[in-house]
Amino acid sequence: MTTRSARRHTLPLALGGAAVLLALTACSSSGNSSSDSPAASAPAPGSTPASTPAEVTGSVTVFAAASLKESFTTLGKQFETAYPGTKVTFNFGGSDTLAASITAGAPADVFAAASPATMKTVTDAGDGQGDPSTFVRNQLEIATLPGNPQHIATLKDLAKSGLKVALCAKTVPCGSAAQKALTAGRLSLTPVSYEQDVKSALTKVELKEVDAAVVYQTDVKAAGGKVEGVPFPESANAVNAYPIVALKDAPNAAAAQAFIALVKSAEGQKVLTQAGFLNP
């Protein structure tokens, strides 16, 4: 039995104990309908109604695609406010790397990937709890230096002689999407570097190590004035769907479900769309 599995087995025991206490309380109050009865006016010791925030406590670990960093960090703060006593810990990175860590046994509660393909790595290994659901989509843009000094206007411009371009690695969702866009435009591009996640590709532009990078529109928006975004029509052929799932051996299954509920709620969707994500 893995450490993650061992920790998960404690949850049914705890829930079972709470259920017994609730049942005893119900029995003791059934003979007295008065609301002044102590048994009728107070919950059993150590138990709370499932619908109350107090049910969700402790730490929750979320593995999420690097492009979700800003919006998920905001949602993490909202979660901790809604559920006092909780702590959200994030591991942001390339979806393929995160998926490999999960299947290797890394303890986590939630996985949010930047593509169905990387999510499939986790679900095929039997590490997902239930079916993943798409919560947002994301589209590519070209990130250039402020003012666009190289006058990049199209995807084809990235193939200009002497232009330095960074792409995400082909195994990473943003890299796979970029390849789809290039194929749609019948273009061939050899970058000066392949980066392991979209934030690393964007940083190459911010540090002026490259003239441009193909990233998500959300990353361009998050960078503010550090870069300038150039949309291109081929990106419509490479829009990525973002799935999210609770993990089978989640150390904190209740918090995992609560965090996913926040992400998919109207408030969660508002944060994500304000960050530039598209509706599911």
Where does 140-238 sit in CATH, by number?
3.40.190.120
Tell me, yes or no, if the two domains 56-137+241-280 and 140-238 fold the same way.
yes
Predicted local confidence at residue 52, as pLDDT? 43
Q: How confident is the model at residue 117 (pLDDT cuts 50, 70, 90)?
A: very high
Please give the DSSP secondary-structure letter assigned to residue 43: P
Q: How far is CA 40 from CA 16, 18, 31, 34, 242, in A?
A: 21, 17, 10, 7, 45
CA dihedral sign, ordered 139, 142, 143, 148:
negative
Give me the amino acid identity at 120: K
The whole model's pTM is what?
Answer: 0.79
Residue 69 has pLDDT above 80, yes or no: yes
Q: CB under 8 Å to 172, separation ≥6 — which residues?
A: 94, 95, 96, 114, 195, 196, 197, 198
Query: What is the pLDDT, as a whole number, of residue 70?
Result: 97
Listed in sequence order, the residues at least 6 apart from 74 whose beta carbon sits closer than 8 Å to its beta carbon are 271
- The alpha helices in the chain, defined as continuous H runs, are 3-29, 38-41, 69-82, 95-103, 116-124, 173-184, 198-206, 217-223, 253-264, 266-274
**According to the annotation, is 37 in a ligand binding site?**
no
pLDDT band at residue 55, thresholds of 50, 70 and 90? confident
CATH class entry, domain 56-137+241-280: alpha beta
Domain boundaries, the chain: 1-45, 56-137+241-280, 140-238
pLDDT class for 4, splitting at 50, 70, 90? Answer: very low
Asked if residues 259 and 62 have their Cβ atoms less than 8 Å apart, the reply is yes
* pLDDT, position 53: 45
> 147-155 contacts: CB < 8 A, separation 24 or more?
147/228, 148/228, 148/230, 149/211, 150/211, 150/212, 152/211, 152/212, 152/230, 153/230, 154/232, 155/181, 155/182, 155/185, 155/187, 155/232, 155/234
The CA distance from 225 to 192, in Å, is 24
Q: Is 161 marked within a binding site?
A: no
DSSP string for 238-257: -PEEEEEEEETT-TTHHHHH
Summary mean pLDDT of the chain: 85
> What pLDDT digit, counting tens, does each position of 128-185 carry?
999 999 999 999 999 999 999 999 999 999 999 999 999 999 999 999 999 999 999 9
pLDDT at residue 5 greater than cutoff 60: no
* CA atoms within 13 A of residue 97's CA, in its CB half-sphere: 15
Question: Any binding-site annotation on 242?
Answer: no
Is 95 assigned a ligand-binding role in the annotation? yes
Angle 204-209-215 from CA coordinates, rounded to 5°: 30
Q: How far apart are CA 280 and CA 261, in angstroms?
A: 15
